[in-house]
A and B are shown apart, each in its own frame.
Chain A
Amino acid sequence: MLVQEFLSRTAARLGAKTALICGQQRLTFGELDAMANRLANALAAHGVRRGDRVAIHLPNGVEAVVGIFAALKAGAAFVLVNSSTKEDKLKYILNNCRATALLLPGRCEYLEELWRDVPSLLCGVVCGPGLGREDPRLPSFAAIQEEGDAAEPPCANIDLDLACLVYTSGSTGEPKGVICDHSNVDFASGSILAYLGTREDDVVLSVLPLSFDYGLYQLLMAFKIGATLVLERTFTYPALILQRIQEERVTVFPGVPTIFAMLLQLDRSAFDLSSLRFITNTAAALPPSHIVELQAGFPGVTLFSMYGLTETKRTLYLPPDQLALRPGSVGIPIPGTETWLVDEEGNRLPPGSTGELVVRGRHVMRGYWEAPEATARRYRPGPLPGERVCYSGDLFRTDEEGYFYFVSRKDDIIKSRGEKVAPKEVENVLQMLPGVMAAVVGVPDPTLGEAIKAFVVARGRAYSEAEVIAHCRAHLEDFMVPRYVEFRDELPMTSSGKISKLALK
């Protein structure tokens, strides 16, 4: 199945059913399908062709959802960029994937610069109030919806075509786009829906950004099965989320450990949360104490503990009946896939061992966009000719029954608030400050999982902590900004002359 059919087929079947609730807006599958058609026709009229990349730099909302399906209906692929991504990184991603269209907020302050520095761009669809410019290259989302043609555009795609690029942090500090074709996304969505047992009458509430694949799949899976999605922009106001769960009779709540840690601290007694059927956790492991507290705090609600990496979407899940037996495990391969552990030489290891997790299945994505070396390291030949399996870069152990337990990462990527942060990317930004040398590590934090800590050596001039953080905020997404800054006279070195991160932890 093509990914745009998650919407169009459900619209044909359940056209009048509420598909999406964003703030005060409630839209049916039929309405959203027509909106996506209008935008797809407009994108095509602006020159977007089959195989092109359409970038979406918007917070969670109706425009982003319509943009995803419109890009696909125009035969193109979508690329979601976190709404808090700053100008330089946005330009890097747009140029890396040579986006021909961009959905952007009307308040974007650097539109001229984008236009100048991203030569591939043919059009920018302006969403929400702002700009008000008379430029034929900048149609407004609202005008397209008022005047556009809602006829379904002709479809030329097959399921081996590119559906999306999901950008992820790499240890080099440059984001890499994971290539997902339609069949990968369709398979992964179907497998996850199968083990979760999601139903058409479910109401899913997601606070996760659509630019995060965990957030994206909440939308894709809900639409594929015909469930309703309540899409929120953030978990910043937890009481608002609890209120929404009560009002909309939400049955499914996906989260990450930071969200659950905050939820557990709240007095929830004023809210009726009895509609909840299951909650899911991934991105980082839940501490066993939180598993116990969640089960006590949400009686009768099933908890799914899961693990994945963008390169294969979801990889492992713990069947809920195993939670009491092995609370530290993230389980077994998702349905229709297999995983195993290998040693440093690539030999397959028996149950009870520790080694790198290798993943096989149709959810193994196609590689990194125009990065053959990184692709060759991560995606290696599989058992059948032409097949590739994914070397996760994560160390796991298995118990005697074959359940998997996360041990550690092989690289130095930090997981903070469930998001991947490459220390190199933060260090690069810090070292833009004249005279600064920096090393960034993750330190344990009860709410964040890991908090980002920067060690800074400044030569020639002194900086205040506030100056350093303000600089980071201007160049990095929120979740990448260091929580702590420590000034040092020098950084510890290893015998080979590299900065010793171990000595800083």
Chain B
Amino acid sequence: MTVDTAVPSKIRDFIARNFLFSDQGFGYPDNASFLEEGIIDSLGIIELVSFVEKEFAISVADQELLPANFDSVQALTTYIAGKQAKAS
């Protein structure tokens, strides 16, 4: 499974703009836990899901809303790649 490098960069950019309100970019390592770092809260996750669904043309099932899939740039990138591979 190949990982499109544009994916993590789009995620970082979305999070920086919408949750960190930062002009300086994401500023965390890709394996940083959104929860541990206080980057995203329970409402943020809903925004993140709609962004991911729209931007990457995938559909997120409710039971996939788990930290293993969503709690870091790295986890989310892998999750998106898996969904796209399944769809194609």
Contacts and interface: CB of A to CB of B under 8 A. Distances in A.
Interface of A: 84, 233-240, 242-243, 258, 262, 266-268, 270-271, 447-448, 466-467, 469-470, 473, 478
Contacts of A270: 61-63
Nearest to B34: A236
Interface string B1-36: 000000000000000010011110000000000010
Which 10 interchain pairs have the tightest Cβ spacing? A470-B21, A239-B65, A466-B21, A267-B62, A270-B63, A236-B42, A266-B62, A469-B21, A235-B42, A478-B41
5 contacts: A236-B45, A238-B65, A268-B62, A271-B63, A466-B23
A469 B22 CA distance: 10
Contacts of A240: 65-67
B69 to A, nearest CB: 9
A239 B23 CA distance: 32
B21 A239 contact: no
Given A466-B21, A469-B21, A236 B41 contact: yes
A243 B45 contact: no
Contacts of B35: 233-234, 236
A237 B21 contact: no
Contact of A470 (B22, B41, B42, B64): B22
Nearest to A468: B21
A476 to B, nearest CB: 12
Contacts of B23: 466
Contacts of A84: 38
Contacts of A266: 62
B22 A237 contact: no
A470 B18 CA distance: 10
Contacts of B21: 466-467, 469-470, 473
A39 to B, nearest CB: 23
A239 B42 contact: no
A262 B46 CA distance: 10
A23 to B, nearest CB: 10
Contacts, number: 56
A235 B62 CA distance: 14
B66 A243 contact: yes
A237 B66 contact: yes
A469 B64 CA distance: 30
A452 B22 CA distance: 21
A234 B42 contact: yes
B41 A239 contact: no
Nearest to B20: A470
B43 interface: yes
Contacts of B65: 237-240
Nearest to A473: B21
Contacts of A448: 43
Contacts of B73: none
A405 to B, nearest CB: 29
A239 B64 contact: yes
Given A84-B38, A238-B42, 17 more contacts: A234-B35, A236-B40, A236-B45, A237-B45, A237-B70, A238-B65, A239-B62, A240-B67, A242-B63, A262-B42, A262-B46, A266-B62, A267-B62, A270-B63, A466-B23, A467-B21, A478-B41
Contacts of A239: 62-66
A240 B17 CA distance: 26
Nearest to A474: B21
Contacts of B70: 237
A484 to B, nearest CB: 13
Contacts of A267: 61-63
Interface string B60-82: 01111111001100000000000
Which residue of B41, B64, B67 has the most chain A CB atoms within 10 A of its CB atom?
B41
A258 B41 CA distance: 13
A347 B67 CA distance: 54
A242 B66 CA distance: 10
Which residue of A233, A240, A267 has the most chain B CB atoms within 10 A of its CB atom?
A240
